[in-house]
């Protein structure tokens, strides 16, 4: 991780996430690209431009002007946050763009060779396959790089202790090795892995796979614990309460793990009450 893309709407939730971005960047000697996106709908060809109502055109121009003025003020506020948290040594670059959210993010990731995206998240108006709201949900399903999501209830603490929820499948090896290696280089605590089994039978199957799974992990600086809980979230919360965790890492799978996570009660609980930052990896 050498380049971090921090997405902000300059809300309090985003400001809190910025402190996390600064802390991570300082530990891994990364630079932060701060991006604010103004969603302005523009006609894509001449014929469409002729059909755009003059009032709509004026609204877009006025919106852009107002947002740019606010951007300069908010940029100074972010600089003060860095100063107050003694992170002025972290290199940052500000970007102001207009356009469609996902398209702009994709362009920046490609052009700047971004390694991880950081953003604050809200829990309101969440439905089914959306984890933190429309933008975050779309990013989770779309990004090929990790997403560091900071729920609104999260209070900053030192980013040092990481817990990774696993299912002991072979497609996890690459991500686990990568994450464990980065933590070791950054001088953080060792990576704690946890498997939540629904019942004793599942736990016995996991125990049989445990040693083979660990044999494919290059780093010895990891631990793996199997716990039993019919509710995966209660199991994770119990584990984290007894094992210091600053960041919960989740490997996003479209067909398995998150289907267990995205039950209605869990989603509502995670979005509205979670106090732990989430590092989400996409794994097809």
Give the model confidence (pLDDT) of 47-87 as tens digits: 544 455 555 555 556 666 667 777 888 888 999 999 999 99
Contact of 153 with 273, CB cutoff 8 Å: yes
Residue 195's pLDDT is 94
Please tell me which residue, 126 or 83, carries the higher pLDDT value: 83
CA 28 to chain centroid, in Å, comes to: 17
Q: Strand, coil or helix: what is 181? A: helix
Tokens of 197: 């089994």
3-151 has which CATH code? Answer: 3.40.50.620
Domain boundaries, the chain: 3-151, 162-282
DSSP 8-state code for residue 91: -
The CA distance from 46 to 110, in Å, is 28
- Sheet with strand 147-151: strands edge to edge: 92-98, 31-38, 3-7, 116-121, 147-151, 277-282, 247-252, 162-165, 191-197, 222-228
Contact of 196 with 165, CB cutoff 8 Å: yes
Q: Do domains 3-151 and 162-282 have the same CATH topology?
A: yes
Name 97's bridge partners: 37
pLDDT over 90 at 269, yes or no? no
CA 176 to each of CA 133, 166, 179, 220, 281: distance values in angstroms, whole numbers, following the listed order? 27, 9, 5, 12, 10
Contact of 104 with 97, CB cutoff 8 Å: yes
Q: Is 260 exposed, middle or buried (CB count within 10 Å of its CB: 0-12, 13-18, 19+)?
A: middle
Residue linked to tokens 């629904």: 198
Contact of 64 with 98, CB cutoff 8 Å: yes
Residue linked to tokens 């290059």: 218
CATH class of 162-282: alpha beta
Strand bridging mode 191-197 / 277-282: unpaired
Q: Which of 98-112, 153-167, 191-205, 242-256 has the lowest mean pLDDT?
A: 242-256
Q: Is the pTM of this model over 0.85?
A: no
DSSP 8-state code for residue 129: T
CA 258 to chain centroid, in Å, comes to: 15
pLDDT over 90 at 224, yes or no? yes
Q: Strand, coil or helix: what is 233? A: helix
The CA distance from 250 to 257, in Å, is 9
Per cent of the chain over pLDDT 70 is 74
Give the model confidence (pLDDT) of 198-215 as tens digits: 999 999 999 999 999 999
Shortest CA distance to 122 belongs to which of 271, 276, 280? 271
pLDDT over 60 at 272, yes or no? no
């Amino acid at each position: 991780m050498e380049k971090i893309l921090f997405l902000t709407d300059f809300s309090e939730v985003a400001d809190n996430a910025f402190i996390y971005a600064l802390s991570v960047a300082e530990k891994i000697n990364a630079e932060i690209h701060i991006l604010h996106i103004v969603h302005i709908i523009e006609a894509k060809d001449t014929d469409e431009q002729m059909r755009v109502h003059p009032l709509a055109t004026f609204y877009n121009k006025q919106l852009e002007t107002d947002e740019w003025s606010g951007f300069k003020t908010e940029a100074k506020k972010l600089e003060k946050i860095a100063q107050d948290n003694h992170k002025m040594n972290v290199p940052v670059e500000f970007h102001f763009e207009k356009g469609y959210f996902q398209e702009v993010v994709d362009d920046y990731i490609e052009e700047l060779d971004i390694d991880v995206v950081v953003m604050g998240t809200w829990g309101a108006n969440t439905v089914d396959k959306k984890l933190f709201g429309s933008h975050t949900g779309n990013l989770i399903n779309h990004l090929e790089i990790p997403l560091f999501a900071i729920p609104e209830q999260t209070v900053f603490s030192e980013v040092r202790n990481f817990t990774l929820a696993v299912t002991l499948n072979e497609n996890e090896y690459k991500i686990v090795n990568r994450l464990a290696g980065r933590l070791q280089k950054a001088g953080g605590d060792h990576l704690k892995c946890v498997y939540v089994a629904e019942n004793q039978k599942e736990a016995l199957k996991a125990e049989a796979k445990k040693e083979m799974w660990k044999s494919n992990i290059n780093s010895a600086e990891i631990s793996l614990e199997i716990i039993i809980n019919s509710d995966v979230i209660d199991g994770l919360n119990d584990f984290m309460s007894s094992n210091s965790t600053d960041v919960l890492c989740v490997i996003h799978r479209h067909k398995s793990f998150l289907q267990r996570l995205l039950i209605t009660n869990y989603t509502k609980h995670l979005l509205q009450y979670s106090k732990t930052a989430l590092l989400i990896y996409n794994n097809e």
